[in-house]
Chain A
Amino acid sequence: MGSAEDEATRVIYEFYDALDELLRSRGTSAMNEIWHHTDYATASHPFGSWARGWTEVSVNWDEAAAVFGFYKGHATRSDEIGGIHELKVVVMGDAAYGTGIYKSKLYMSDRELTLSINCTNIAQRIDGVWKIVHHHADQAPPDWQAAIGRMVEAGHS
């Protein structure tokens, strides 16, 4: 077993692995597994407002999965949709926060859609298990949000 910093860092990287699974239409089970299902779980995404409590947080992930169910740009690609960069993790007792930059690239039918936004994640150790309890991503630029909205309205990417 590694240090608390190693463990917290690992769970944050695993969160982004789960996010890639979700965005690739491989389901939400990995995302659900990476969270503590608490009433103080909170999340805010590149599009959308705060989800407070695990029920709302999980609904937001379900909806994100539904939205990206229309995305087919990575259907035949092996590269990641996105990942966390410059991750810095600070541990304070049984809590840890990580700051980083999420970068992604989507292959839309008419262009590549890139995103680079600051993110913060908080992990908590409960009964020796580190999991996510908070995720915050900056709002994506309006043109990125509009492109995703058009994908949903059209029903394809």
Chain B
Amino acid sequence: MLGAQRSSANVGTQLGGFRVLNADGNLSVTAWGYWPGEVSRAFAVKVPAAAQMLAPSSIFVLDSRELKPQGVEGQEALRLLFRVLAQLPFAKGTILRGNAMTGMQLSRLLRECGADGCIEFADTQSLGT
């Protein structure tokens, strides 16, 4: 029997956005494109708050396969999430990586936030366009 599952509607547009899925105490975030300011601000509010629900047995996944490198506001929104994750004792954290430059940006932000020890990358497609 499936446990409780709750998914947010897509925030943003096809060009840039994200959605959050809570299922069985695990958290999955899918992000794509380049975020305009309002999407960055929504991410900064919704996703770190959702991450606070993670428990020691929880799994966190950020699917960034379609995410482009972000500007100042988008990076700050991601930092807010990573700073929360750095403080939480969840079981496993994974970032699904596609665009190599986005992966490098996320890697840099994770290190800045002290979250590089609790999140690992998984390459899911060839690098490039």
Query: Footprint of B on A, CB under 8 Å?
Result: 44-45, 47-51, 55-56, 59-60, 62-64, 66-67, 139, 142, 145, 148-149, 152-153, 155
Contact = CB atoms under 8 A, between A and B. Distances in A.
Contact of A47 (B34, B107, B111, B127): B127
Interface string B94-121: 0000111111110110010000100000
- Give the contact-size bracket for chain B: 20 to 34
A145 B105 contact: no
Taking chain B's interface residues, is the majority helix, strand, or loop, or is none over half, making it mixed? loop
A44 B129 contact: yes
B79 interface: no
Of all A-B residue pairs in the complex, the 7 with the closest CB atoms, nearest first, are A48-B101, A47-B100, A139-B128, A63-B69, A152-B104, A49-B99, A49-B129
B68 A51 contact: yes
Given A55-B34, A139-B129, A142-B127, A64 B68 contact: no
Interface of B: 34, 68-71, 98-105, 107-108, 111, 116, 127-129
Contacts, number: 63
A44 B100 CA distance: 12
A69 B108 CA distance: 11
B108 A49 contact: no
Contacts of B99: 48-49
16 contacts: A47-B100, A48-B99, A55-B34, A55-B71, A56-B34, A56-B69, A59-B68, A62-B71, A63-B104, A63-B105, A139-B128, A139-B129, A149-B107, A152-B104, A152-B107, A155-B111
